[in-house]
Amino acid sequence: MSMSAFRKAGWIGLVSTMTIISGAALQAATAADVLGQGTPFADGTVEAGTLKVATCSACHGPNGNSTTAQWPKIAGQNAVYVAEQLQLFKAGVRINPDMLKITSLLSDKDIDSVAVYYQAQTPVGAEADPKTEGAGEKLYRYGDAARAIPACTACHGPVGRGNSLADYPALRAQFADYVAKQLGDFASGARYSGANRALRPVATVM
């Protein structure tokens, strides 16, 4: 092999190595964008959130574990999702007069801190109703091909922990009645206002 061939092979190896490194760096940068900038964790803190959730606790409980199905449990909920929903309430896209009053008093940083605070809390749920648990689990895990219903696990995970990177909420420990109401609201178009009714997939119910 001539020296020029050696040089050529060397350059090919160098370019290949640089390409691999660049690809890895790009993936790392993308992950940083997803997990850092543009998320509640960029400027929200649990400590700051603790000072802002007093009003929230009246309905959602002192640590996000509501005691009635009228208000959802948000302890342990995906912070990205919580922040998004609070912004939608504030903008009037998701309609709830009480939530509009509360969110209108919160800055973007406040919302981020509230979201981060609730993700740090531990969800507590009651026992499932044995009359419907089996059918519900089957539908959640496998869907129903005959009715074109996808498995809930595809988005919300095998045990209902959600998917924070894809912005799907956790459903674990949630009230069955609340989940049923949200599914009904998605089906009827009542979940969001106007042209925003198709804003999120039907699979997302929190």
What per-residue confidence (pLDDT) applies to 135? 93
pLDDT greater than 60 at residue 203: no
CA distances from 173 to 11, 110, 158, 161 (A): 57, 26, 14, 10
Region 164-185: what's the mean pLDDT?
Answer: 92
CB 40 within 8 A of CB 80: yes
The lowest-confidence range among 6-20, 36-50, 185-199 is 6-20
CA distances from 163 to 1, 55, 130, 198, 204 (A): 54, 27, 27, 20, 11
What per-residue confidence (pLDDT) applies to 38? 65
Q: How confident is the model at residue 196 (pLDDT cuts 50, 70, 90)?
A: low
> At residue 42, what are phi and psi to the nearest 5 degrees?
-65, -40
Whole-model pTM: value is 0.75
Region 121-146: what's the mean pLDDT?
Answer: 92
What per-residue confidence (pLDDT) applies to 195? 54
Supply the mean pLDDT for the chain. Answer: 81
Q: What's the CA gap between 79 and 172, in Å, rounded?
A: 15
pLDDT greater than 80 at residue 15: no
Residue 145, CB-side half-sphere exposure with 13 Å CA sphere: 1
Region 115-141: what's the mean pLDDT?
Answer: 93
Q: How confident is the model at residue 197 (pLDDT cuts 50, 70, 90)?
A: low
Q: Using CA atoms of 74, 76, 77, 80 in order, give the dihedral in degrees to the nearest 10.
A: 130
Strand segments, DSSP code E, in 12-94 are none
